[in-house]
Amino acid sequence: MKILRNYILKEFFGPLLLTLGVLSFVMVLIGNLKRIADLVINKGVDILSVLQIFIYLTPYIITYTLPISILVAVLLALGRLSGDNEIIAIRASGISLFRLILPLLIIGLILSFGLALFNDQAGSYSHFAYRKALKEMGFKNPTAAFEEGVFINSFQKYILFIYHIDQKKNRLNNIRIYEPQGEDKPTRTIVAKAGEFVVIPEKNIIKLKLIDGTSDEPDPENPTNFYKLNFRTYFMNLDLANIQERVVDKKYKEMTIHELKQEAKKLKREGIDPTPLFTEIHEKLALAFSCFIFMLLGSSLGIITRRREKTINIGIAVLIIVCYYPLFIGCEALAIGGQLPPALALWLPNIIFGLIGAFLTFKLCAS
């Protein structure tokens, strides 16, 4: 039995690792291809920083790719064994099908617990680190953080409007800077033909060097009035301390379960409905335990279909995925909207597919 168990696990782990690697890479690449291309081609971000983004995104993506990979791997492994009549030979030797798939079910349960812990710690941290890395890129290369032709109100006192940005040369053209003075007071305006950013990381400050322009300067005798000052070079300090703190606040998806519970208690004390937080907690756990559900369902279908062809087994996996995840998303929306309790809504897809898998397994083993 030990030899048979190792043989089946070997058949399973090969496709699992291959599918997990390929699927994770494809999802990271396709899901962020536009942003990555923009950073590298248009905004001059170095390739090592882009690689860092890939590394930070991968743990979060594994939350979704591991259950799918398990489903594909178990369908391929048992489908091949069934298609080559090895399942029939195993049953003829007196070994029940339940004993045959039991090691796979145990592996599925272990992977579910492991993914729950992984989602809670590595997945949450990596997505938060990914957003922080994007923010740091914007600080190291400020032009990468800004868009031309829009009002930029990220700074504490100023509103910027830049007509053209040359990302690679860190060069700005045709700049308007506005400094509101309050109600019933004229807005101070600075206009420049060109400019560039000078970064001082240790002080959290960006100096904006303006070239060839005019500046509204307060009249010493009447500060509410301005006079025009022409300049060849003009330096401004743009403080990023407040914006950095705001941008890197954790989102709910980036909090651990402990942090979500603490935040939920805080919201309850303030009389605010914490349903979105409980929804996030159950989403983390339900997605993790879809590993076991897919293993249970895939092991029975892999034997029943008796298909050695990989394309057919992959097609079955795709069919299950396109049924499971839209149902999961719909149930999540019902939980957030208050139509269903989060504990029921987020676990409902697992319950439905788990019951189908249990029924098929029972019928298979009883036959």
Q: Does residue 146 sit within a domain?
A: no
Q: Cα(4)–Cα(194) distance, rounded to whole angstroms?
A: 73
DSSP character at residue 154:
-
Q: Do 45 and 175 belong together in one domain?
A: no
Does the pLDDT value for residue 245 go beyond 50? no
Answer yes or no: is 10 within a domain.
yes
Find the helix packing angle between 257-269 and 275-305, rounded to 10°: 140
Pairwise CA distance, residues 351 & 349, whole Å: 5
- Cα separation, 75 vs 60, in Å, equals 25
Pick from 82-91, 126-135, 277-286 the range whose average pLDDT is largest.
277-286
Say which residues have a Cβ less than 8 Å from residue 239's Cβ, sequence separation at least 6: 155, 156, 204, 205
pLDDT confidence of residue 31: 67
Same domain, 120 and 222: no
> Domain of 280?
2-140+250-366
- Range with the lowest mean pLDDT among 33-42, 70-79, 194-203, 318-327? 33-42
User: How many beta carbons lie within 10 A of that of residue 79, not counting itself?
Assistant: 26
**The predicted structure's pLDDT at residue 247:** 45
Axis crossing angle, helix 47-83 with helix 310-337, rounded to the nearest 10: 120
What's this model's pTM, rounded to 2 decimal places?
A: 0.71
Q: Indicate whether 119 and 254 sit together in one domain.
A: yes
244 is a domain residue: no
- The reply to whether 302 and 208 lie within a common domain is no
Assess whether 89 and 163 both reside in one domain.
Answer: no
Quick one: what percent of the chain has pLDDT higher than 70?
82
State in Å, rounded, how far the first CA of the chain is from the last one: 21
Question: How confident is the model over 25-51, as pLDDT tens digits?
Answer: 888 777 666 666 666 665 566 677 777
What's the one-letter identity of residue 35?
R
The residue among 44 and 316 whose pLDDT is bigger is 316
Higher per-residue confidence, 221 vs 7: 7
Closest CA to 106 of 296, 255, 244: 296
CB count within 10 Å of CB 22 equals 12
Structural contact between residues 336 and 279, judged by C-beta atoms closer than 8 angstroms: yes
Gap between the Cα atoms of 267 and 83, Å rounded:
56
194 part of a folded domain: yes
Tell me: the pLDDT tens digits for 1-32? 677 878 888 889 999 999 999 998 888 777 66
Q: Report yes or no on 150 lying in a domain.
A: no
Same domain, 291 and 165: no
Total number of domains in the chain? 2
- Looking at residue 356, what is its pLDDT? 95
Q: Answer yes or no: is 346 within a domain.
A: yes
Q: Select, from the ranges 38-47, 218-227, 266-275, 326-335, the one with the highest average predicted confidence (pLDDT).
A: 326-335
